[in-house]
């Protein structure tokens, strides 16, 4: 079994490395080397740089503003960002891009995609999710609410 990357993955790796060299601050030691305020400011600016260069929402289709990367390119990108200690997005992107954005791409209407996806990518809209229930609080393992299919509706 040959475990080498194909030439196109190596070429993409060089492109990502060049991007990181050009855009990370000289002497970059990772986000952990910054104070809280410095890290917050860096993430905000870095997110803009990622968005402008197609490295934000890399798995989204290009027609919705994503990078349109192949699975192999996504792996190479993750490896190189990890090697460089570079954040892959902003502090809210786990919710906005990974959770809501991917959900909209899969089951959202075209109108919802056109309205929300650009706003998520630009950082104009920040998303979160919250769960709470009487007697359970935010302990998801203790929720008691259930849905039952009644004909064509969940009740």
Q: Where are the domains of the chain?
A: 7-91
Q: What is the pLDDT of residues 50-65, one digit of tens each?
A: 999 999 999 999 999 9
The angle subtended at Cα 96 by Cα 91 and Cα 98, nearest 5°, is: 95
| pLDDT for the residue 41 | 93
**pTM confidence score:** 0.80
For the chain, the first-to-last Cα distance in angstroms comes to 52
pLDDT band at 150 (very low <50, low <70, confident <90, very high): very high
pLDDT band at 149 (very low <50, low <70, confident <90, very high): very high
Q: Kindly state the percentage of the chain with pLDDT values over 70.
A: 100
Q: What is the pLDDT of residues 4-51, one digit of tens each?
A: 999 999 999 999 999 999 999 999 999 999 999 999 999 999 999 999
The CATH number of domain 7-91, selected from 1.10.540.10, 1.20.58.760, 3.40.50.720, 3.40.50.2300: 1.10.540.10
């Amino acid at each position: 079994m040959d475990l080498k990357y194909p030439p196109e993955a190596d070429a993409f790796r060089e492109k990502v490395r060049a991007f990181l060299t050009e855009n990370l601050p000289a002497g970059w030691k990772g986000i952990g080397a910054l104070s809280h305020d410095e890290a917050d400011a860096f993430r905000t600016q870095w997110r803009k740089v990622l968005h402008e260069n197609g490295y934000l929402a890399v798995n989204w289709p290009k027609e919705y503003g994503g990078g349109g990367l192949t699975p192999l390119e996504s792996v190479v990108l993750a490896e190189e960002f990890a090697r460089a200690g570079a954040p892959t997005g902003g502090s809210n992107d786990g919710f906005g891009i990974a959770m809501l954005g991917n959900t909209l791409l899969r089951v959202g209407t075209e109108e919802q995609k056109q309205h929300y996806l650009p706003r998520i990518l630009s950082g104009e809209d920040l998303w979160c999710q919250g769960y709470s229930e009487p007697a359970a609080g935010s302990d998801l393992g203790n929720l008691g609410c259930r849905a039952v299919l009644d004909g064509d509706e969940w009740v």
